[in-house]
C-alpha cells in the first residue's frame, strides 16, 4: 500500500477517536460482584452498580446476557378443538438475560426504547407463519414470566449534580435461574430523551461445587451421567415403595 494511503487511513482513525471518547464522556461504572458463583445454595442475589453520568441526566442500568438462539414450538388449535404444538419457531439474537432498572424520572418512551420492548427490534424470528411481531411479543412475555427479562429489576438512586456530573447507585435483583456465562452491565445516560453517553463492564457467572461437578459429568461424561441418573431413579423408586408399604402396614 502506498505511504500516502497509509497516512490517510491513520489520520481517519485518529479523527474518529475523539468522537468515540465524547460518546462515553461523563459515564463511569463499577459493579459488585463482578463474578457470581452458582453453588448448590444459590437462589438469586443482588448486584450493586455505581458510577457517574453527565449532570441533569437520568440513567438506565441493564444486565445483558450473551445472545442466543431459542427453538420453540407454536401452539394452536387443530380443527378448532385441540391445542397442539404446530410450527417450529426460532428466535435469534435473543439475550439469555435482560434486566433493566432506571432512575425514577426516566420517561416511559425511553424505557420502551431501552427496555424489554426495545428487544423486538433486535430479535430475529424464523417461522412458516408471517406474523412475526405477535410471536416476538409472546416470546418477550414468556421470558418476563420466567423472570429472565425484567423492566423493573431493581432500584436506582441519583445524587444532585456536582459540576458536570452526578453519581448513581443501582441494585439489580439477579434471578435464581441464572445460567453460567459472560454478561455485560451497561449504564446509559439519557438527557432530554437523547442518549448522552454510556459505559459498560463485564461480569461472569459460573458453576462451583456440586453444580459444577454435575455439569462436568453431564457434558463431559454422558455415559456415566446416564448411569448415575438411572441408579438414582431406581433407588428413589425403592425408597418411595418402602414408605408406602410402611404406611399400609401401619394402617392395618
Give the N- to C-terminal CA distance of the chain in Å, as an integer: 96
Helix (H, G, I), strand (E, B), or coil: what is residue 79? coil
What is the percent of the chain with per-residue pLDDT over 70, rounded to a whole number? 69
Q: Which tens digit of pLDDT belongs to each residue from 86-105?
A: 678 899 999 999 999 999 99
Question: Do residues 65 and 98 touch, judged by C-beta distance below 8 A?
Answer: yes
The pLDDT-based confidence of 127 (bands split at 50, 70, 90) is: confident
- Does this model's pTM top 0.85? My answer is no
Domain spans, the chain = 25-229
Please give the mean pLDDT across all residues of the chain: 81
Residue 44 near residue 176 (C-beta atoms within 8 A): yes
Q: Per-residue pLDDT for 158 more than 90? A: yes
- The b-or-e profile of 110-129 (16+ CB within 10 A means b, else e) is bbeebbbeebeeebebebee
Task: Classify 25-229 by CATH class.
Answer: mainly beta
Q: Which DSSP letter does residue 121 get?
A: G
Residues linked to residue 173 through DSSP beta bridges, in sequence order: 46
Amino acid at each position: 500500500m502506498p505511504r500516502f494511503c497509509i497516512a490517510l487511513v491513520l489520520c481517519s482513525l485518529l479523527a474518529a477517536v475523539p468522537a468515540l471518547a465524547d460518546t462515553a464522556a461523563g459515564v463511569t461504572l463499577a459493579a459488585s460482584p463482578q463474578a457470581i458463583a452458582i453453588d448448590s445454595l444459590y437462589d438469586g442475589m443482588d448486584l450493586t452498580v455505581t458510577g457517574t453520568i453527565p449532570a441533569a441526566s437520568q440513567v438506565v442500568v441493564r444486565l445483558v446476557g450473551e445472545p442466543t438462539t431459542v427453538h420453540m414450538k407454536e401452539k394452536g388449535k387443530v380443527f378448532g378443538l385441540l391445542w397442539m404444538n404446530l410450527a417450529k419457531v426460532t428466535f435469534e439474537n435473543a439475550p439469555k438475560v435482560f434486566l433493566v432498572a432506571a432512575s425514577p424520572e426516566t420517561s416511559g418512551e425511553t424505557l420502551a426504547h431501552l427496555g424489554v420492548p426495545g428487544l423486538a427490534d433486535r430479535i430475529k424470528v424464523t417461522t412458516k407463519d408471517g406474523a412475526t411481531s405477535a410471536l416476538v411479543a409472546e416470546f418477550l412475555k414468556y421470558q418476563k414470566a420466567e423472570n429472565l427479562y425484567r423492566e423493573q429489576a431493581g432500584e436506582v438512586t441519583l445524587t444532585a449534580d456536582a459540576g458536570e456530573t452526578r453519581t448513581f447507585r443501582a441494585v439489580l435483583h439477579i434471578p435464581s435461574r441464572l445460567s453460567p456465562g459472560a454478561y455485560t452491565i451497561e449504564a446509559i445516560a439519557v438527557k432530554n430523551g437523547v442518549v448522552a453517553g454510556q459505559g459498560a463492564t463485564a461480569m461472569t457467572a459460573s458453576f462451583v461445587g456440586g453444580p459444577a461437578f454435575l455439569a462436568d459429568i453431564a457434558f463431559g461424561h454422558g455415559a456415566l451421567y446416564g448411569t448415575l441418573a438411572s441408579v438414582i431413579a431406581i433407588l428413589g423408586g425403592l425408597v418411595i415403595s418402602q414408605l408406602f408399604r410402611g404406611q399400609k402396614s401401619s394402617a392395618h
